[in-house]
Amino acid sequence: MHLGLFLFPAGHHVAAWRHPDANAAAGVDFAWYRDLARKAEAACFDLIFLADGAGARSEDPEVLSRSAHAYVAQFEPITLLSALAASTDRIGLVCTISSSFNEPFHAARKIASLDHISGGRAGWNLVTSASDSEARNFGLDAHLAHAERYERAGEFADVVHALWNSWDADAFVRDKQAGRFFDPAGRHVLNHQGRFFKVKGPLNVPRPPQGRPVTVQAGASEAGRDLAARTADVVFTAQQTLEEARAFRTDLLTRAGRPIRVLPGLFPVVAPTRAEAEDKFATLQDLIHPDTGLDLITGGWLRDVLAKCDLDAPPPELPPTNGSQSRQELLFDMARREGLTLRKLYLRVAGARGHQQVIGTPQDIADAMQERFESGGADGFNIMPPLMPQGLDDFTALVVPELRRRGLFRDRYEGRTLRDHLALEGA
């Protein structure tokens, strides 16, 4: 199976930054990220993964002051990954880029540069963004409608991929004697004219070492699945049950008609005994503030609606959102299915945030991973440690050896590039 490390500063639990042992300033501590990346590389993870937002997730300063997940004090990811490329040798480097608030030429140039700097280890997570708070940083009063932003994302990906083909691999001859820096026959001008973008090209970076750096997509709505099937090499997703996971992966591969690596998020709380693992989780749960909990389950979009509700009553029927539709549907379907109140819902997802959560021994974690992997629900997992670095240390020390004992995970890298690690064909 393939493993990614989803890097989130103090840890993925929404209250991780409040833990007595947490580094609350981790989001702007480069040495912190460097050490985590090196630990993941020592364990032979395929990649590290950085989420990002083009602004804070809420405009309520009281909510922001309590929410470590609101992207108010974290590095810009391309800058961070470029530094990590010089601090690591083999692990893949994947960051999030919004198609709604960037230009494809900028994205293509930055990722191609990262691919060269890292020796072929770059990837990007194509997202559409979802909040009005981000839109207002880019001259808009509100975000684009859901369907329109996915249409824009599809064209964005097409342009980025095409720009990476601006030059043949051998175009730059750098012939000093003849005075010719590149072979004009190896230069390809794009001349793209579409609904959203007009881009002439070519890209002013040579062809990336991977040809096409790895493209990741995380949408699970109909529009998101269509975009992933057409553009992605890897899909980061969230399904609660094995049946849902198998159905999602089967549907995606059928739509795509080609290999795509499906890596759902996994939030593991591991200890030598189940009681110890439960105690670790309970300590974090006790640190959740209700404002943070409500913001977590709504992404901020419907927080005002829910703030008027009884936290100990079932969730109300919600109005349609222009935010992350698949995530809202997943969470509130879970609440209805399991009979959860609003409070119990945010406590239920405070760690994994809708992803699979497993609390127990190394064997418990490995059992859950093996079942989903061997049953066709996943090609691997994006690991979301609850508290950093302790959660990563526990996983690499306890779970990784168990996976290797079962023949499920590598003990050394076989290739050099991220496409090599993921066993994806060259592009």
> pLDDT for 90-116, tens place per residue?
999 999 999 988 999 999 999 999 999
- Whether residues 342 and 362 fall in one domain: no
The answer, yes or no, to whether residue 300 has pLDDT greater than 60, is no
pLDDT of residue 69: 60
| Exposed/middle/buried for residue 117 (C-beta within 10 Å: 0-12, 13-18, 19+) | middle
- Whether residues 210 and 115 fall in one domain: yes
Number of other residues whose CB lies within 10 A of the CB of residue 256: 18
Domain presence at residue 100: yes
- Whether residues 130 and 78 fall in one domain: yes
User: Which of 349, 367, 400 is the last residue in one of the domains?
Assistant: 349
Over residues 399-423, the pLDDT tens digits come to: 999 999 999 999 999 999 999 999 9
The answer, yes or no, to whether residue 350 has pLDDT greater than 60, is yes
- Whether residues 101 and 57 fall in one domain: yes
User: Which of 332, 349, 366 is the last residue in one of the domains?
Assistant: 349
pLDDT band of 276, cuts 50, 70, 90: very high
- Whether residues 305 and 238 fall in one domain: no
Q: Give the integer Cα–Cα distance in Å for 209 and 264.
A: 27
Q: Give the integer Cα–Cα distance in Å for 215 and 235.
A: 9
The sign of the CA dihedral 400, 406, 411, 416 is negative
Instruction: Tell me the residue range of the domain where 296 lies.
Output: 289-349
- Whether residues 336 and 384 fall in one domain: no
Over residues 173-183, the pLDDT tens digits come to: 999 999 999 99
- Whether residues 327 and 373 fall in one domain: no
Domain presence at residue 279: no
pLDDT of residue 376: 97
Q: Give the integer Cα–Cα distance in Å for 1 and 381.
A: 8
Domain presence at residue 344: yes
Are residues 219 and 128 in contact, defined by beta-carbon separation less than 8 angstroms?
A: yes
Are residues 212 and 420 in contact, defined by beta-carbon separation less than 8 angstroms?
A: no
pLDDT of residue 298: 66
Domain presence at residue 405: yes
pLDDT of residue 170: 97
Residue 189 has which token pair? 């001008």
Over residues 31-46, the pLDDT tens digits come to: 999 999 999 999 999 9
Q: Tell me which residue has tokens 């989803």.
A: 6
When divided into structural domains, the chain yields a total of 2
Domain presence at residue 178: no
- Whether residues 127 and 250 fall in one domain: yes
Are residues 190 and 155 in contact, defined by beta-carbon separation less than 8 angstroms?
A: no
Give percent of the chain with pLDDT exceeding 90: 70
- Cite the DSSP H helix spans in 273-424: 274-285, 290-298, 303-307, 325-338, 342-349, 362-374, 390-394, 400-405, 418-421
Are residues 410 and 380 in contact, defined by beta-carbon separation less than 8 angstroms?
A: no
pLDDT of residue 293: 78
- Whether residues 212 and 323 fall in one domain: no
Q: Could you tell me the CATH number of the domain that includes residue 30?
A: 3.20.20.30
Q: Give the integer Cα–Cα distance in Å for 150 and 194.
A: 14
Domain presence at residue 214: yes
pLDDT of residue 319: 60
- Whether residues 95 and 150 fall in one domain: yes
pLDDT band of 329, cuts 50, 70, 90: confident
User: Which of 327, 349, 371 is the last residue in one of the domains?
Assistant: 349
Q: Give the integer Cα–Cα distance in Å for 168 and 135.
A: 37
Domain presence at residue 284: no
Q: Give the integer Cα–Cα distance in Å for 206 and 182.
A: 10
Residue 50 CB contacts under 8 Å (≥ 6 apart), including other chains: 7, 77, 80, 81, 94, 95, 96, 125
pLDDT of residue 400: 98
Peptide bond into 206 cis (omega under 30): no
- Whether residues 296 and 311 fall in one domain: yes
Q: Of the candidates 147, 99, 146, which has an alpha carbon nearest to the alpha carbon of residue 124?
A: 99
Which of 70-79, 245-254, 295-304, 375-384 is predicted least confidently?
A: 295-304
pLDDT of residue 103: 96
- Whether residues 58 and 104 fall in one domain: yes
